[in-house]
Amino acid sequence: MEDKKERCGMIKYLSLTIIISLVLFLYACSAKVNEDEDFLKSRIDVSDTYHFTGFKTFLTNEARLTREILAESAEYYEKKQIFELDNLKVNFYGEKEVESIVVANKGIYDSKSKKITLDGEVEYKDIFNKHLKTDHMVYDGNTDMISSKSPFIFEVEQKDGTIFRNKGVGFTTDARFQNIKTDKGTVEFVPGKKKGKSK
């Protein structure tokens, strides 16, 4: 009789031990899951970078399209709200159509300040025969001004073929290059080829 009581007591003890072990095991698993979830959340919070292949965005003024930014690829940093762009082109719209374009190897578009910084081989062309080359340029979408502190060559082809050439270091201008101001520069006129009747 006593042996039966001892066996029963032993079975109850073992059962209780197993139950406690299971409870502790399940608690540990739950804590591990929570820890993993917290880790993932922290990674998501830190990782705020998004990659785009084929990037396109617009700048508008009173619902009218004014600027269009295109790039082969882009990295977007959500917290800073900036885009790092590769092989980009900026289209400058007039009343109805694109009047000028700027291309560059690299660029940064700050969506907060509406500034576009262009670097590398930067080239500007427009429908008014204006052409500029530099290695760095900043467009300010708020003021519609373009500036640079780098060496540049700015040319305008006249109706008779004469080239007005402005070379220097550093400039400020409106987006249509109608009023360009240079820090250090020289101006020259290069005679164009005379247009004659072919024999």
**Tokens matching residue 30:** 């739950």
Q: Are 86 and 141 in a shared domain?
A: yes
Q: What does the pLDDT read at residue 7?
A: 52
Give 168's contacts (C-beta < 8 A, 6+ positions apart): 151, 152, 182, 183, 184, 185, 186
Domain count, the chain: 2
Q: Are 97 and 43 in a shared domain?
A: no
Q: Are 63 and 23 in a shared domain?
A: no
- Domain final residue pick, 47, 62, 85: 47
Q: How far is the C-alpha of 163 from the C-alpha of 189, rounded, in Å? A: 6
Q: What does the pLDDT read at residue 189?
A: 86
Q: What does the pLDDT read at residue 127?
A: 94
Q: How far is the C-alpha of 30 from the C-alpha of 24, rounded, in Å? A: 10
Q: What does the pLDDT read at residue 11?
A: 52
Q: Are 129 and 158 in a shared domain?
A: yes
Q: How far is the C-alpha of 16 from the C-alpha of 99, rounded, in Å? A: 83
The CATH number of residue 103's host domain is 2.60.450.10
Q: How far is the C-alpha of 193 from the C-alpha of 2, rounded, in Å? A: 123
Q: Which pTM was predicted?
A: 0.70
Q: What is the three-class DSSP state of 144?
A: coil
Q: Is residue 196 part of a domain?
A: no
Q: Are 59 and 29 in a shared domain?
A: no
Q: What count of other Cβ atoms lies within 10 Å of the Cβ of residue 113?
A: 12
Q: What count of other Cβ atoms lies within 10 Å of the Cβ of residue 173?
A: 19
Q: Are 99 and 174 in a shared domain?
A: yes
The answer to whether the CB of 166 falls within 8 A of the CB of 185 is: yes
Q: Please classify residue 1 by burial: count the beta carbons closer than 10 Å to its beta carbon, then call 0-12 exposed, 13-18 middle and 19+ buried.
A: exposed
Candidates 172, 89, 175; CA nearest to 130 is: 175
Q: How far is the C-alpha of 78 from the C-alpha of 84, rounded, in Å? A: 12
Q: Is residue 199 part of a domain?
A: no
Q: Domain residues for 83?
A: 49-190
Q: Is residue 195 part of a domain?
A: no
Low-confidence ranges of the chain (pLDDT < 50): 5, 23, 31-37, 39-46, 196-199
Candidates 95, 110, 99, 184; CA nearest to 148 is: 184
Q: Are 72 and 96 in a shared domain?
A: yes
Q: Is residue 114 part of a domain?
A: yes
Q: Is residue 3 part of a domain?
A: yes
Q: Are 42 and 112 in a shared domain?
A: no
